[in-house]
């Protein structure tokens, strides 16, 4: 992994391949001294309007030995008043990707130039750089030497030393945990079978208590939802429980959907829809990655993670449309579409979490295509029974750049998932209207009284392209978000 550290040097004294300098739009004042050293080349760029500091604009200048650094990379940060940590994170990712492809191995970064919280600014730059440096190359053998990485980033002199150190420390942990989640999501689905995801849980830091329930234990517990979805699969299911206890308060429960491959089952997906369905365990991976970060940072919280894990496959043993499933809570589900399997396994996941008497439950799931229709990949949908928890998640989303947008949980949606012959049905309206909302309404039937929030990450869990600090594939969306929620947790 890329190494990040704070160095005492500044832009004018940094000795290395490249120094990266943030610039606000039409503001060359803060670059005045650099401009002088470079014989006015920056002012003439501005004068010719070639580089004006527009958001995410890049401009590489060779210093021709006028400075100790060989190159200066100017990075546009847009309007000064509008430069928040997420813009810095993206700018940092954008610059890192550019330099990585240019073959630069180490650079100095002076991107944290905006006003405001020094820790947040430095942390955003560190996260952006590490995340942008990530690529999933485990299975590449051809021309592997051509795949470049940056080895290290030097964060240039920051006045608020203590805050900056903290930003580097937390940024490194969060980005590393997100890369760990990305690896799990990107691992091919025939490799990352349920037992392999359980192995990832077992590899969490020693301070995390890990239990993995096998099929026998899952049967004893009567987790009929998880068993039904698993019925068509050769690989046995797992139910993962992890706990980090660094507070005497009751736990905060995180529940993650862990479908290691979603073919749709007998309600088979089309080839196109199936392409990326190894990502359907992102919720479970993010829960594990969050607990890893919480343990690495030794946050003073008590948190438990739960993940029902299985494939969803067609076979002559598969659960079928028309089946009625008896879940662990004894509530029954009429199955109308085997591709709406996430909610069926989460029924058991949520009910099991509630039995542990947590203060609150937050679940994460790549639950519905409908949520992508509503919000795209730009934000997750958040809903639930606790406006307090939902509000905290939205605020954490705004702080961390992992935005969550509220979806309603009206009674009408609960009506739409009522069944004539069972307690609930796993499909709302036949035309799938309000698909993200009927899915959430379904889940609400399995949380009796605990304050609960549900985050549908189907959109942001996966990126279709390399952009800013995302690479094509899993994003790790949710780790920064949940760690922020836990860090600022207060009794409800
Ligand atoms: N895993 C999918 C949802 C999904 C779709 C995630 C695309 C990421 C990208 C989920 O299990 C699913 O198939 N949902 C169905 C539900 C429908 C059958 C009611 C959907 O959204 O189409
Ligand atoms: Zn599905
Ligand atoms: Zn699914």
Per-residue pLDDT, 480: 98
Q: Which pLDDT tens digit goes with each residue over 111-124?
A: 988 788 999 999 99
Q: What is the Cα–Cα distance from 251 to 98, expressed in whole angstroms?
A: 43
Task: Report the number of distinct structural domains present in the chain.
Answer: 2
In this structure, the answer to whether residues 191 and 153 fall within a common structural domain is no
Whole domain around residue 244: which residue ranges? 183-487
Q: What is the Cα–Cα distance from 124 to 143, expressed in whole angstroms?
A: 32
Q: Which of 276, 277, 340, 373 to mutate to test the pocket of ligand 1 (most atoms within 8 A of CB)?
A: 340
Q: What is the Cα–Cα distance from 185 to 196, expressed in whole angstroms?
A: 12
Q: Is residue 172 part of a domain?
A: no
Per-residue pLDDT, 112: 86
Q: What is the Cα–Cα distance from 383 to 203, expressed in whole angstroms?
A: 32
Contact, 309 vs 239, CB < 8 A? yes
Per-residue pLDDT, 460: 98
63 CA from centroid of ligand 2 (Å):
55
Q: From the candidates 343, 392, 399, 403, give the one annotated as an active-site residue.
A: 343
Between strands 332-334 and 324-326, the pairing is antiparallel
Per-residue pLDDT, 352: 99
Query: Which portions of the chain are predicted below pLDDT 70?
Result: none
Per-residue pLDDT, 430: 78
Can you give the CATH number for the domain in which 229 is found? 3.40.630.10
Inter-CA distances, 287 with 157, 294, 355, Å: 35, 11, 18
Can you give the CATH number for the domain in which 36 is found? 3.40.220.10
Query: Known catalytic residue: 90?
Result: no
- Give, as one character, the DSSP assignment of residue 467: B
In this structure, the answer to whether residues 46 and 132 fall within a common structural domain is yes
Q: Is residue 378 part of a domain?
A: yes
In this structure, the answer to whether residues 98 and 204 fall within a common structural domain is no
Inter-CA distances, 58 with 69, 76, 285, 472, Å: 17, 6, 34, 22
Query: Known catalytic residue: 202?
Result: no
Q: Which pLDDT tens digit goes with each residue over 171-212?
A: 999 999 999 999 999 999 999 999 999 999 999 999 999 999
The dihedrals phi and psi of 94, each to the nearest 5 degrees, come to: -60, -45
Q: What is the Cα–Cα distance from 123 to 171, expressed in whole angstroms?
A: 5
Q: Please tell me the pTM assigned to this model.
A: 0.98
In this structure, the answer to whether residues 422 and 280 fall within a common structural domain is yes
In this structure, the answer to whether residues 324 and 421 fall within a common structural domain is yes
């Amino acid at each position: 992994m890329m190494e990040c550290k704070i160095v005492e040097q500044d832009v004018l004294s940094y000795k290395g391949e490249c120094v990266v300098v943030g610039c606000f739009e039409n503001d060359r004042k803060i670059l005045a001294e650099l401009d002088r050293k470079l014989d006015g080349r920056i002012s003439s760029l501005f004068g010719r309007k070639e580089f004006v500091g527009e958001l995410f604009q890049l401009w590489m200048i060779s210093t021709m030995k006028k400075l100790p650094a060989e190159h200066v990379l100017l990075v546009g940060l847009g309007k000064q008043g509008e430069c928040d940590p997420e813009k810095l994170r993206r700018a940092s990712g954008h610059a890192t990707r550019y330099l990585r492809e240019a073959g630069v191995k180490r650079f100095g970064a002076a991107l944290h130039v905006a006003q405001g919280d020094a820790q947040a600014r430095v942390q955003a730059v560190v996260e952006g750089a590490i995340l942008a440096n990530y690529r999933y190359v485990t299975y590449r053998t051809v021309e592997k030497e051509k795949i470049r990485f940056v080895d290290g980033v030097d964060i240039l002199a920051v006045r608020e030393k203590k805050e900056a150190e903290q930003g580097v420390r937390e940024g490194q942990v969060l980005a590393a945990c997100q890369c760990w989640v990305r690896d799990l999501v990107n691992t091919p689905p025939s490799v990352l079978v349920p037992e392999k995801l359980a192995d990832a849980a077992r590899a969490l830091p020693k301070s995390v208590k890990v239990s993995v329930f096998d099929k026998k234990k899952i049967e004893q517990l009567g987790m009929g939802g998880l068993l039904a979805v698993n019925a068509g699969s050769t690989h046995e299911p797992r139910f993962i429980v992890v706990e980090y206890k660094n507070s005497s308060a009751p736990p905060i429960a995180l529940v993650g959907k862990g479908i290691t491959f979603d073919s749709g089952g007998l309600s088979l997906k089309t080839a196109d829809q199936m392409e990326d369905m190894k990502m359907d365990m992102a919720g479970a991976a993010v829960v594990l990655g969050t607990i890893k970060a919480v343990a690495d940072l030794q946050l003073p919280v008590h948190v438990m993670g739960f993940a029902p894990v299985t494939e969803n496959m067609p076979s002559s043993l598969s659960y079928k449309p028309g089946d009625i499933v008896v879940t662990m809570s004894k509530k029954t589900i009429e199955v109308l579409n085997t591709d709406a399997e996430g909610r069926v396994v989460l029924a058991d996941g949520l009910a099991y979490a509630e039995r542990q008497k947590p203060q609150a439950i937050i679940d994460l799931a790549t639950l519905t295509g409908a949520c992508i229709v509503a919000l795209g990949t730009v934000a997750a949908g958040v809903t639930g029974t606790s406006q307090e928890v939902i509000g905290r998640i939205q605020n954490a989303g705004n702080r961390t750049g992992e935005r969550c947008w509220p979806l309603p949980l009206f009674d009408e949606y609960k009506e739409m998932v009522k069944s004539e012959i069972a307690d609930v049905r796993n499909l709302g309206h036949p035309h799938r209207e309000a698909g993200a909302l009927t899915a959430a309404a379904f889940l609400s039937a399995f949380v009796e009284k605990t304050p609960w929030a549900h985050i549908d990450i189907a959109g942001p869990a996966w990126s279709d392209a390399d952009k800013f600090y995302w690479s094509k594939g899993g994003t790790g969306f949710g780790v920064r978000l949940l760690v922020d929620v836990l860090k600022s947790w207060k009794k409800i």
